[in-house]
Amino acid sequence: MKVNRRSFLQLAAVTAVSSAFCGLGFETEALAADRIAMLEPKWSKQTTSVCCYCAVGCGLIVNTDLKTKRAINVEGDPDHPINEGATCAKGASIWQLAENKERPPRPLYRAPYSSEWKEVSWDWALGEIAKRVKKTRDASFTEKNDKGQVVNRCNGLASVGSAAIDNEECWTYQAMLRALGLVYVEHQARICHSSTVAALAESFGRGAMTNHWNDIANSDCILVMGSNAAENHPISFKWVTKAMVKGAKLISIDPRFTRTSAKADLYCQIRAGSDIAVLGGLIKYILDNDLIQRDYVVSHTNAPFIISDKFTFNDGLFSGYTKNGDDEDYVGAYDKSQWAYERDEQGLPKRDESLKHPRCVYNLLKSHYARYDVDKVVSVSGIDKDGLLEFYKLFSATGKPDKAGTIMYAMGWTQHTVGTQYIRTMAMVQLLLGNIGVSGGGVNALRGESNVQGSTDHCLLWHILPGYLATPNAGLPTYREYVDAKAKPHLQGAKDPKSAAWWQYYPKYMSSFLKAMYPEASSEDAYAWLPKAEDGKTYTWLQLFEAMRKKEFTGFFAWGMNPACGGANAGKNRQAMTNLDWMVNVNIFDNETGSFWRGPGMDPKKVKTEVFFLPCAVSIEKEGSITNSGRWMQWRYQGPTPRGESKSDGHIMTELFDKIRALYAKEGGAFPEPIKNLSVDMWKTHGEFDAHQVAKLINGYFLKDVTIKDKTYKKGTLVPSFALLQDDGSTCSGNWLYCNSYTEDGNRAARRSREQTPEQEKIGLFSNWSWCWPVNRRIIYNRASCDNTGKPYAPQKPVVAWNGKSWIGDVPDGGWAPGTKYAFIMLPNGHGHVFGPGRQDGPFPEHYEPMETPFTKHEFSNQLNNPTALRFAREALAVADPKYPYVATTYRVTEHWQTGLMTRHTPWLLETMPQMFVEMCEELAKEKGIENGEKVMVESIRGSIWAIAMVTKRMHPLKVMGKTVYQLGMPWCFGWQMPHDGSGGDSSNLLTPSVGDPNTGIPETKVFVANVRKL
């Protein structure tokens, strides 16, 4: 049969419609239908949406049957600037995710010691949960700590979630949790990119991807390291390919030869856990060969700053180190005051712009990396020497003013005990080469969940409030003491008239946030109502599950998360859940977390934990915004209605909170003020959650008539930009970073115009498509792309340029005339940090071995591991242990997403990638007598899983410090709960250790040691 495009589409349509409607019981009607005809307005409505999987943020078109209100088709949006109509396998199957018979239509309840789920009504489920929340809160509420400091904290409840919910829901959820007094508030961002925020904020001032997806096409050299973009962010690769067509070089450095490597001009294999050695060598190469962009380095970085002589580095340790006892969570800590700048009489850092002073950052940097010679780097990482030198040559060539190199990285860098320092190393390279703020440059963190950028911005994290404001701690008891302490270093920096020191406006943002939470309260009262963390204590993901293991919590929310598979040392998490009295699991499908009581090794009759499962809507069934990796806030519209009785997360949150509030109104209870006064009524229309109302509150309103520079803004109008927020209670803004996103001109995230000025079009800024934080600026730090007269270093691809009167191109990062303010406006002294004095483990990155390693020493110092790492001394680690001789790592595959919960339930995707596998080289397989396709057991000191052996040429043995090293690679997207017959296997996180980075606590899930044996 000859099949042309039209008949192919018709054929595919009949098959697809047939499958779609079979599940709904409409076979006869569907078989007769022409799917193409059904896409016409007569039959279906069309809405635009954004993919719910990775943070590339591809645009979608959703067709919903007018009669049944069910989705009949989802495809790429051809007008969307990022994906231009394309999607990867996951995006293409979203329709099947929504129309999925595995979705529980109503809430489920598992009673203590029961072996089954029972279907229950929403009213009953929410009512019972509200009662348990109140009981736990009242019983565990702590007004004062042991020191007598007011903390107003609920200790018996913890929450994880979520990066998969909309911005408006993230804000709502954090508000609700903080009103209840929780401090253990964590989610996916902690375990995937928290080290990114810590590294980029330290280096440049903001913790996000500096450029955006389309801009990758403007690069001259793209380094993909710590990521496999072609596999995990497939549509991003469209822009890599466009750059390569224009002549850009692609370099892939990875423990495995990946789909990205297959397209690269240069591929080098390295040992997992050795990237700082490789990048430290790059810094040495750049300095030795004088390849820095000198004008940029002197004008825009702290390389000329002079450092106090208290700062030293000796055999792997910086000055100021103290080792902790085994009873503490961190191995040790530094007194960072020893890493300070030398200051003048005004308190401003002293500088030597000639870069000759022996204690200026530039010379300290040279001396620090003098040890990172090529032979040592080769020895520690196992990299091929010629390949390494080629990499150094290619990438450092982007230090020329008119060239730009970029980096695309992801979990391969973030998830290490030195994760923050991996990223810091590259940030330093990019500052030295003048690659920050420029088109085709930047440090590009590839975010993996559709809204993990937004959920981070809205701070579903223990240590920050929306807009990256610090969580209050017990030592700052009043609002005034808190804001003064936070603004102080920036006010100090602002003594230099050229330093914008933007965080000096901290009180305006905090005051406006408190007003968005508690509109009727004074700043002092609202501040008092926020829970306070203990001074010096951290409450990160790993510590949350350690506290759960120690029975510190009665109740637990897992909202849109699956920690029974997604967290490091998942077996520990599963066991810890047996210590809870009750748990609420909100998701599209039941998962390994909600059903932990019936999982492998559990006897339901012995598990007391009550579990409530609440079914939530799929992204295309609700309205709201998400923020992609490139900081684009994009609005999604509702297509089909929520399937069965499922509800949007926002509806579930507000309905639950209303019930809790009603209980407090009726019965009283511990510290009811924050619950009673929370701004819930401002989140609703006609008594129901309304994403537009929350989006407006996040942007912020004038709460009274306010006159600023002769212009009066009426009470109730939306604040046009964060520069107009006030610290006197006259404005509210749920998140100052998003102020400008929803103004009196409308919902800017919903904009769909591809119109650009000629300057914008030159580099593809798409400034009128959606909205981007901050204030629609597409490339941050963009004034660093110009010299002190406002002339772009790369005139052929300018980001901004001074036309004599104003800046043209992108929204400038500060509108001042050229030469009047430094470019890195969020840092107190206005210069990018080559020397980063704020991190817990040192101002310069240093190679340490992972916490689990086959080695007892390495080439750079006698300090084996990160001396400040997070670990629990009672948990054994395998170091040079012959029982676990191989270096293991984990990763994702195109067809699955995160723990695979959504994709394992999507038949097309599961069929393509059905079960757990482990990659190994031919040499190892031969040694172990393992054939390709055989079932094997992979074991670490924490647990074991079966997997199918994938014997491959994509990995080969490495020679590392005189020893042959074999590596194992495994996906982490499988779990016992789906497929139901167990044929998929279980999570590789049963093998990974609970150790973490000292800056953020991100677990070291990307490198550990394991063994493999034939079954």
Binding test (CB under 6 A) with ligand SF4, winner from 54, 494, 794, 918: 54
Q: Is 947 in the site for ligand SF4 (CB under 6 A)?
A: no
Report whether 191 contacts 1005 (CB < 8 A).
yes
In 3-state terms, what secondary structure has residue 482? helix
Q: Is 444 in the site for ligand SF4 (CB under 6 A)?
A: no
C-beta of 585 vs 898, nearer to ligand SF4: 898
Q: Is 230 in the site for ligand SF4 (CB under 6 A)?
A: no
In whole angstroms, the minimum distance from the beta carbon of 58 to ligand SF4 comes to: 3
C-beta of 499 vs 625, nearer to ligand SF4: 625
C-beta of 56 vs 460, nearer to ligand SF4: 56
Distance from C-alpha of 471 to C-alpha of 537, rounded to nearest angstrom: 12
Part of the chain binding ligand SF4 (CB under 6 A), chosen from 56-64, 134-142, 733-741, 996-1004: 56-64
What residues have CB less than 8 Å from 328, skipping those under 6 apart? none
Q: Is 913 in the site for ligand SF4 (CB under 6 A)?
A: no
C-beta of 83 vs 646, nearer to ligand SF4: 83
Q: What angle do CA 756, 757, 760 make, to 5 degrees?
A: 75
Q: Is 58 in the site for ligand SF4 (CB under 6 A)?
A: yes
C-beta of 90 vs 661, nearer to ligand SF4: 90
Report whether 318 contacts 312 (CB < 8 A).
yes
Q: What angle do CA 955, 956, 961 make, to 5 degrees?
A: 125
Q: DSSP code of 624?
A: E
Q: Is 59 in the site for ligand SF4 (CB under 6 A)?
A: no
Part of the chain binding ligand SF4 (CB under 6 A), chosen from 232-240, 436-444, 746-754, 919-927: 232-240
Both tokens assigned to 582: 């009750």
C-beta of 210 vs 451, nearer to ligand SF4: 451
In whole angstroms, the minimum distance from the beta carbon of 764 to ligand SF4 comes to: 17
Q: Is 56 in the site for ligand SF4 (CB under 6 A)?
A: yes
Distance from C-alpha of 247 to C-alpha of 241, rounded to nearest angstrom: 10
Measured distance between the N- and C-terminal CA atoms of the chain, rounded to whole angstroms: 47
C-beta of 53 vs 479, nearer to ligand SF4: 53
Cα-trace Rg, the chain: 27
Find, among 787, 496, 738, 526, the residue nearest to 631 by Cα: 738
CB-closest chain residue to ligand SF4: 91
Q: Is 363 in the site for ligand SF4 (CB under 6 A)?
A: no
Q: Contacts for 716-721 with beta carbons within 8 Å, 24 or more apart?
A: 717/744, 718/742, 718/743, 718/744, 719/743, 720/744, 721/775
Binding test (CB under 6 A) with ligand SF4, winner from 234, 624, 809, 984: 234
Part of the chain binding ligand SF4 (CB under 6 A), chosen from 49-57, 238-246, 508-516, 814-822: 49-57
Paired residues of 950 in beta bridges: 919
In whole angstroms, the minimum distance from the beta carbon of 399 to ligand SF4 comes to: 31
Distance from C-alpha of 169 to C-alpha of 157, rounded to nearest angstrom: 20
**Run of H or E residues at 347:** none
Part of the chain binding ligand SF4 (CB under 6 A), chosen from 86-94, 269-277, 717-725, 802-810: 86-94
C-beta of 53 vs 171, nearer to ligand SF4: 53
Binding test (CB under 6 A) with ligand SF4, winner from 73, 87, 218, 540: 87
The residues in 545-584 that bind ligand SF4, with binding defined as CB under 6 A, are none
Part of the chain binding ligand SF4 (CB under 6 A), chosen from 84-92, 242-250, 578-586, 954-962: 84-92
C-beta of 151 vs 217, nearer to ligand SF4: 217
C-beta of 86 vs 470, nearer to ligand SF4: 86
What residues have CB less than 8 Å from 504, skipping those under 6 apart? 487, 490, 491, 493, 494
Angle between helices 385-396 and 374-381 (to 10 degrees): 120
In whole angstroms, the minimum distance from the beta carbon of 92 to ligand SF4 comes to: 7
Part of the chain binding ligand SF4 (CB under 6 A), chosen from 51-59, 171-179, 462-470, 709-717: 51-59
Q: How far is CA 910 from the centre of its chain?
A: 25
Q: Is 238 in the site for ligand SF4 (CB under 6 A)?
A: no
Binding test (CB under 6 A) with ligand SF4, winner from 130, 200, 235, 514: 235
Q: Is 618 in the site for ligand SF4 (CB under 6 A)?
A: no
Q: Is 74 in the site for ligand SF4 (CB under 6 A)?
A: no
Q: Is 433 in the site for ligand SF4 (CB under 6 A)?
A: no
φ and ψ at residue 203, rounded to 5 degrees: -80, -40
Query: What is the signed CA dihedral for 847, 850, 856, 862, rounded to 10 degrees?
Result: 30
Distance from C-alpha of 849 to C-alpha of 962, rounded to nearest angstrom: 16
Per-residue three-class SS string for 29-59: HHHHCCHHHHCCCCCEEEEEEECCCCCCCCE
Amino acid at 809: G
φ and ψ at residue 449, rounded to 5 degrees: -110, 145
Per-residue three-class SS string for 94-123: HHHHHCCCCCCCCCEEECCCCCCCEECCHH
Q: Is 973 in the site for ligand SF4 (CB under 6 A)?
A: no
DSSP string, 939-982: E-SS-EEEEEEEEETT---EEETTEEE-EEEEE---BTTBSTTS
Q: Is 90 in the site for ligand SF4 (CB under 6 A)?
A: yes
In whole angstroms, the minimum distance from the beta carbon of 82 to ligand SF4 comes to: 8
Amino acid at 655: E
In whole angstroms, the minimum distance from the beta carbon of 346 to ligand SF4 comes to: 49
In whole angstroms, the minimum distance from the beta carbon of 235 to ligand SF4 comes to: 4
What per-residue string of b and e applies to 931-963 under the rule 16 or more CB within 10 Å gives b? eeeeebebbbbbbbbebebbbbebbbbbebbee
Per-residue interface string for the shown chain with ligand SF4, residues 91-130, x marking contact by CB under 6 A: x---------------------------------------
In whole angstroms, the minimum distance from the beta carbon of 626 to ligand SF4 comes to: 10
Q: Is 51 in the site for ligand SF4 (CB under 6 A)?
A: yes
Distance from C-alpha of 123 to C-alpha of 649, rounded to nearest angstrom: 15
In whole angstroms, the minimum distance from the beta carbon of 55 to ligand SF4 comes to: 7
Binding test (CB under 6 A) with ligand SF4, winner from 17, 30, 35, 53: 53
Binding test (CB under 6 A) with ligand SF4, winner from 72, 88, 528, 678: 88
C-beta of 237 vs 824, nearer to ligand SF4: 237
Q: DSSP code of 301?
A: B
Part of the chain binding ligand SF4 (CB under 6 A), chosen from 88-96, 208-216, 303-311, 778-786: 88-96
In whole angstroms, the minimum distance from the beta carbon of 971 to ligand SF4 comes to: 15
Number of H helices, E strands in the chain: 33, 44
Residue 294 CA: distances (Å) to CA of 39, 287, 368, 435: 58, 11, 20, 12
In whole angstroms, the minimum distance from the beta carbon of 636 to ligand SF4 comes to: 12
C-beta of 51 vs 719, nearer to ligand SF4: 51
What residues have CB less than 8 Å from 967, skipping those under 6 apart? 255, 256, 271, 272, 886, 887, 888, 889, 920, 921, 955, 958
Distance from C-alpha of 675 to C-alpha of 175, rounded to nearest angstrom: 10
Part of the chain binding ligand SF4 (CB under 6 A), chosen from 46-54, 842-850, 880-888, 967-975: 46-54
C-beta of 225 vs 446, nearer to ligand SF4: 446
Both tokens assigned to 302: 């702290």
Both tokens assigned to 515: 């007003």
Q: How many residues bind ligand SF4 (CB under 6 A)?
A: 14
In whole angstroms, the minimum distance from the beta carbon of 70 to ligand SF4 comes to: 21
In whole angstroms, the minimum distance from the beta carbon of 52 to ligand SF4 comes to: 7
Q: Which residues bind ligand SF4 (CB under 6 A)?
A: 51, 53-54, 56-58, 83, 87-88, 90-91, 233-235
